[in-house]
Structure 1
Amino acid sequence: MRFPRFIDAVSRRSGLPPEQAADVARAVLQTMAERVTGRPTDDLAGRLPDDLDGYLSGAGAGTDAASGPAGPAEFLRRVGERAGVDEATARRGTGAVFATLREAVTVAEFQEMVARLPTRADGAVQPLPPTYDG
């Protein structure tokens, strides 16, 4: 998927202007890269637009997975901070990015990516992507 098409899909789903959707998408992928555990995220990164794949496969991938709170609120806080948006915008944008990623990669690749995110003691994935029905 080409970068403009990916961002257009995130913008459409979230209701954010394209420039802000791009900022949020980069922030989500960078935060995901910090949270992914296990092997590198190169498989998924190869399917992302060139402008985005570096955020998921960067050198810091996985290095922050065990430090600090790893819950959904912390994930959204980091996304909002990185993208320069409020929590509601971060939540809407994050949901749109996850929905767009589900379209950009195969079901197996998406499931593998989610399976490598840290989990709570009850086995729930953290952070849980917020749902967006739009």
Structure 2
Amino acid sequence: MRFPLFVEAVSRRAELPTEQAATISRAVLQTLADRITGAEAADLAAQLPDEIGTYLVGSPEEGGAGGPVTFLRRVADRAGVDPAVAEVGTRAVLGTLRDTVTVGEFQDLVAQLPKGFDAMVDPIPRPPYDH
């Protein structure tokens, strides 16, 4: 999936204009990079096209700690949007990531996020139970 397709999926999920979805996608990925280990960022980036994965590369900035409210504030600041738009966009980006990478990689990502993030991440679909 190339960045324009990723952004299109985020735009549809969040019901945001494409340009704003692109800005929020970059902000969420950069903020995730602040929150997860360098190794996890590299693993996640390896499953994404270079264009998208480059936003996960870099040194963590000050303020990488904190819960979902701090995360959303950083996304809002980076994207230049209000916190409500940042939340809708963040949910859309996480949902698109969930659909783009392997289940195991998404679980590894979520495991590195603070507990309060559960509400922002849709449950990972489980395979149907076979009788």
TM-score (norm 2): 0.83
C-alpha separation between the residues in 2 aligned to 1:44 and 1:38? 10
Aligned equivalent of 1:82: 78
Larger Rg: 2
| Unaligned ranges ≥5, structure 1 | none
Q: CA RMSD in A?
A: 2.1
Contact 1:25–1:97 at 8 Å: present in 2 too? yes
Does the alignment pair 1:52 with 2:42?
no
Q: Deviations over 1:2-57 (max 9, x none)?
A: 11110000000001111100000000010010011363411110222322211112
TM-score (norm 1): 0.81
Give 1:116 deviation, angstroms.
2.1
Aligned equivalent of 2:19: 19
Q: Deviations over 1:86-131 (max 9, x none)?
A: 01100000000000000110100000111123x3xxxx2x544625
In terms of mean alpha carbon deviation, does 42-51 or 102-111 score higher? 42-51
C-alpha separation between the residues in 1 aligned to 2:91 and 2:7? 13
Contact 1:31–1:75 at 8 Å: present in 2 too? yes
Aligned residue pairs, count: 122
Identity, in percent, stands at 54
Moved segments of 4+, more than 6 Å: none
Bigger helix fraction: 2
